[in-house]
């Protein structure tokens, strides 16, 4: 099947729906993004790339960065990773304080904000510079050596991210954050602020489709650890709409409030879609529609 033609067909078919959904407003720079943008990039396991629409425009990857911080944690953190964060879908909003209190400061999974804060704390403990290490990893995997944190996005989120701050300090109070909460928040906000295009992000995520091996042959993770990240993406990667996402798309994926979704079909490809308008659960509305068409037309999903 000509996947490039399929991508272009999907973007063309959804042309009239550009701008649907609501852009995230609680982080000021995200509220200023043009909601009509829509791009799609797919990279096959042999490295062949296909793009359509605004696939080369960089956007704020936000929560998709949680995949890369979890990857660093699985590379470097030994025993206590899964003692300090769970592996179950949250079933609540990604920044729920109620659930965190109820579960005594152990976040449900690494892809909700509290979970990513704990993961960030753990990688800060074992890496000399967790911000730079994550940036280096993404640069190496995507081939985008000029990829960078959007300092303005990180600063504005730091200035407005009161709920994240509350969660970090709350977990510090309950003993599940070991380091300085402000340092953890600073690294977390920077990771979220990373700007990448659909093509760069699809390239960066390709190791998840290649049993942990990057295109240049580097072993990023073992095949087993890679299966586990994909399992987390399938069960926890689309906020509290994971069931609906699995039903409609059927791929492990991680979405972000910037409107990006990174998804993989192990053994076949990684794909990234981006359109800033979100649905009520916080997933890109057009992005899900595009991925739904992709797995429907190819007839392939993890199921």
Is residue 77 annotated as part of the catalytic site, yes or no? Answer: no
- Judge whether 63 counts as a catalytic residue: yes
What is the per-residue binding string for ligand GLU in 192-211, x denoting contact by CB under 6 A? x-------------------
- Residue 279 touches ligand GLU, criterion: CB under 6 A: no
Q: Which one of 60, 63, 142, 284 is the catalytic residue?
A: 63
247 is catalytic: no
The angle subtended at Cα 102 by Cα 68 and Cα 192, nearest 5°, is 20
> Residue 275, interface with ligand GLU (CB under 6 A)?
no
- CA angle centred on 63, ends 146 and 138, rounded to 5°: 30
Q: Which residues, other chains included, contact 62 with Cβ-Cβ below 8 Å and sequence gap of 6+?
A: 27, 30, 192, 256, 257, 258, 260
Tokens representing 101 are: 């209190």
Active site residue 66: yes
Candidates 96, 164, 176, 213: give the one binding ligand GLU (CB under 6 A): 164
CA dihedral for 21, 22, 27, 32, sign (positive or negative) = positive
Q: How many CB atoms lie within 10 A of CB 42?
A: 26
- Is 142 among the residues that bind ligand GLU (CB under 6 A)? no
One of 54, 157, 200, 279 touching ligand GLU (CB under 6 A): 157
For the question of residue 142 being annotated catalytic, the response is no
Surface-to-core class of residue 92, CB atoms within 10 Å of its CB (0-12 exposed, 13-18 middle, 19+ buried): middle
Q: Which is nearer to ligand GLU, 113 or 176 (CB)?
A: 113
50 or 191, CB closer to ligand GLU? Answer: 191
CB of 98 vs ligand GLU, minimal distance in Å: 16
Positions touching ligand GLU (CB under 6 A) are 62-63, 94-95, 113, 157, 164, 192, 256-257
């Amino acid at each position: 099947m000509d996947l490039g033609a399929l991508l272009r067909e999907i973007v063309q078919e959804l042309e009239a729906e550009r701008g649907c959904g609501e852009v995230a407003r609680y982080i000021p720079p995200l509220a200023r993004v043009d909601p009509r943008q829509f791009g799609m990039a797919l990279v096959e396991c042999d490295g062949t790339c296909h793009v359509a629409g605004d696939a080369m425009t960089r956007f704020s990857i936000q929560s998709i960065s949680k995949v890369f911080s979890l990857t660093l944690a699985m590379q470097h953190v030994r025993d206590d990773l899964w003692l300090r964060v769970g592996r179950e879908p949250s079933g609540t909003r990604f920044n729920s304080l109620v659930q965190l209190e109820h579960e005594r400061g152990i976040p449900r999974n690494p892809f909700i904000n509290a979970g990513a804060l704990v993961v960030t704390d753990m990688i800060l403990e074992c890496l000399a510079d967790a911000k730079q290490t994550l940036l280096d990893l993404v640069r190496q995997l995507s081939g985008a050596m000029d990829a960078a944190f959007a300092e303005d996005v990180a600063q504005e989120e730091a200035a407005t991210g009161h709920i994240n701050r509350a969660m970090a300090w709350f977990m510090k109070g309950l003993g599940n954050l070991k380091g300085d909460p402000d340092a953890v928040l600073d690294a977390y906000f920077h990771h979220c602020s990373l700007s990448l295009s659909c093509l760069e992000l699809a390239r960066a995520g390709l190791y998840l489709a290649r049993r942990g091996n990057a295109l240049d042959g580097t072993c990023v993770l073992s095949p087993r650890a890679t299966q586990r990240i994909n399992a987390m993406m399938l069960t926890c990667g689309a906020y509290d709409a994971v069931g609906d996402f699995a039903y409609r798309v059927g791929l492990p994926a991680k979405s972000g409030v910037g409107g990006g979704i990174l998804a993989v079909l192990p053994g076949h490809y990684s794909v990234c879609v981006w359109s800033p308008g979100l649905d009520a659960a916080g997933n890109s509305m057009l992005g899900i529609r595009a991925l739904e068409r992709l797995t429907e037309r190819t007839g392939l999903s993890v199921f």
